Structure 1
């Protein structure tokens, strides 16, 4: 198992070759940039040439903290700089599309924070603009690069547990919504800004479902306007099922975040370490039990990287690799259109109390 795990670990290793470096500037200097984007890029040895934010003083402070040489006075000034080749857009969801359009019009490659669009029609439009311009555009669905999830995906690809029959993600948290004032008035909240990661990961493992059914709700005394607890079930043509259950107002003080993947020849289970003491987090845990290897009971895989900040190396690295080699980013906007389709179907199911079908 040591050799097999070493192979998985190498395939999940996150690095950005110096030959792939480009002129990168960041739009947004909020908490996710300061706590995840920029620490990840620093860890990968990736230089950032500039930053801008509506709060100029904050942008200046973040620039000084991370050795960023230039603070742009506006998005327009940043996009007008010919030295900027890649734009890292990290702003609230409602502001994403306009900046995305402007970046593509300026000839910049894009890494857009999730969700990069709030509805399928806008997602298709933005994806089409990037494709027509011949520019690389990806979405920061970086949970695909979280080592616990990425290693599990490689185990499935290698056939360690056979065909997937079930996938569940369950989180029960006391989420500090006060950290995100921009999210508090959103009517579509939990799925759109948090569980979108889980739903994107389910798609990555299992593809497009035949249908989904979802419920969502609030709890007395919560800060946000939108839903803070949701449960979604998926049905697949193969007979596989998936469940995503998230509660963000856990008053029991027993936070947990777990996932399990069942297969015809084994199973994988783990925890999402970031969510146990967010935002500091911890490494994930991951275990596999396989008839095909075979394992002697449940065997732990040694996770060493973290969702924050390490996984953010993966999403930016995939954009830079695509620019350098012509590859397609794992989280391309073209792929993420289907995630936005799925999120929209989940909300339609909640609103109508109905099973919603999706095209394959």
Structure 2
């Protein structure tokens, strides 16, 4: 399997050529920037020239920890900096559209945190703006660059398990929502903020579903008002998928498992980050294939982590698109479909009905 795995590892490699590196400025100095964006960019040798936040003291603290030379006093000051070529927007979805529009007007390329819009209509407007301006806009759906998931995707692309017939992902964890005060009043929480990653990769593996059905639950006395447990099912022309997520695991046995079945085999694995968030561990990944063939279940040696390594991938994809004219793996245009899917899942929750997608 060494030769076969080499093609997988080449696909998963997270390196940004020096010629593609461009000056980056960040809007937002929250925990995800401090703990994932900036460590990833340091690993990749990227230059972060400045940062801003509505809480300037927090921005100064993050800048000092990571050696960022400039703290901008406002978004306007950041966008006026001619040295900045890429703006990394890392703020809640409700605040993103105004920043996105201003960055496009200033001629900056964008990597936007997910979700980059709260509705499909706004998402489409933003994607249109970037394309009309000839600027690259990617969305930080970094699970597409997590090594376990990316390796599985490449195995599927290469036909190792044949046509995919089902996809399942089950997450059972204890999430400390109190870490994010801004999440307290979100009526749309679990899918919009967390499981959007999983729903995005279902699309990445299987394309657009013909219909979806979703259920949600809450726990009495919980910190946020939004849903903290969800079950989402999908129907495709020749496949099905299910995503089941529980953030109120009181048993202490966190787990995060996925499985992809095809007509010629299967892939199974774990999302290591979620076993001890935010430290986590590497993913696990195994493949069983009658087309290669494998001798039973064969492990693929995952060496990188979702946090922080996958964040190299999302920014690297934007930088590659700027340099080569390629399309980012998670472009704003593609992510409009993810926002549409999220909207359909919430509509199903609200109506207790199957929602068909055109």
TM range (shorter): over 0.9
Structure-2 residue corresponding to 1:180: 180
Structure-1 residue corresponding to 2:288: 289
Structure-2 residue corresponding to 1:349: 348
Which deviations, in whole Å up to 9, do the C-alpha atoms of 1:54-113 show, x marking residues without a partner? 111111111111111111001110011111110000011110111011111111100000
- Which stretches in structure 2 are left out of the alignment for 5+ residues? none
> In the aligned structure 2, how far is the partner of 1:55 from the partner of 1:65?
16
Mapping of residues 1-360 of structure 1, within 5 Å = 1-238=1-238, 240-359=239-358
Contact 1:222 1:249 in 2 (8 A): no
> In the aligned structure 2, how far is the partner of 1:165 from the partner of 1:51?
45
> In the aligned structure 2, how far is the partner of 1:332 from the partner of 1:169?
23
Which deviations, in whole Å up to 9, do the C-alpha atoms of 1:272-314 show, x marking residues without a partner? 0000000001000000000001111111000001000000000
> In the aligned structure 2, how far is the partner of 1:109 from the partner of 1:94?
20
- Which stretches in structure 1 are left out of the alignment for 5+ residues? none
TM-superposed CA distance for 1:221, in Å, is 2.3
Which deviations, in whole Å up to 9, do the C-alpha atoms of 1:215-243 show, x marking residues without a partner? 011012211100000000000112x0000
> In the aligned structure 1, how far is the partner of 2:64 from the partner of 2:22?
21
Contact 1:274 1:280 in 2 (8 A): yes
Contact 1:216 1:230 in 2 (8 A): yes
> In the aligned structure 2, how far is the partner of 1:201 from the partner of 1:56?
35
Moved more, 137-146 or 92-101: 92-101
> In the aligned structure 1, how far is the partner of 2:41 from the partner of 2:93?
22
> In the aligned structure 1, how far is the partner of 2:184 from the partner of 2:18?
40
Runs of 4+ in 1 over 2 A off after TM superposition: none
TM-superposed CA distance for 1:6, in Å, is 2.0
> In the aligned structure 1, how far is the partner of 2:157 from the partner of 2:270?
20
Tell me the TM-score normalized by structure 2: 0.99
Other structure's SS at 1:22 match: coil
TM-superposed CA distance for 1:151, in Å, is 0.0
Tell me the TM-score normalized by structure 1: 0.99
Other structure's SS at 1:347 match: helix
> In the aligned structure 2, how far is the partner of 1:79 from the partner of 1:345?
35
* RMSD, aligned CA: 0.6
> In the aligned structure 2, how far is the partner of 1:58 from the partner of 1:183?
18
Alignment: residue pair count: 358
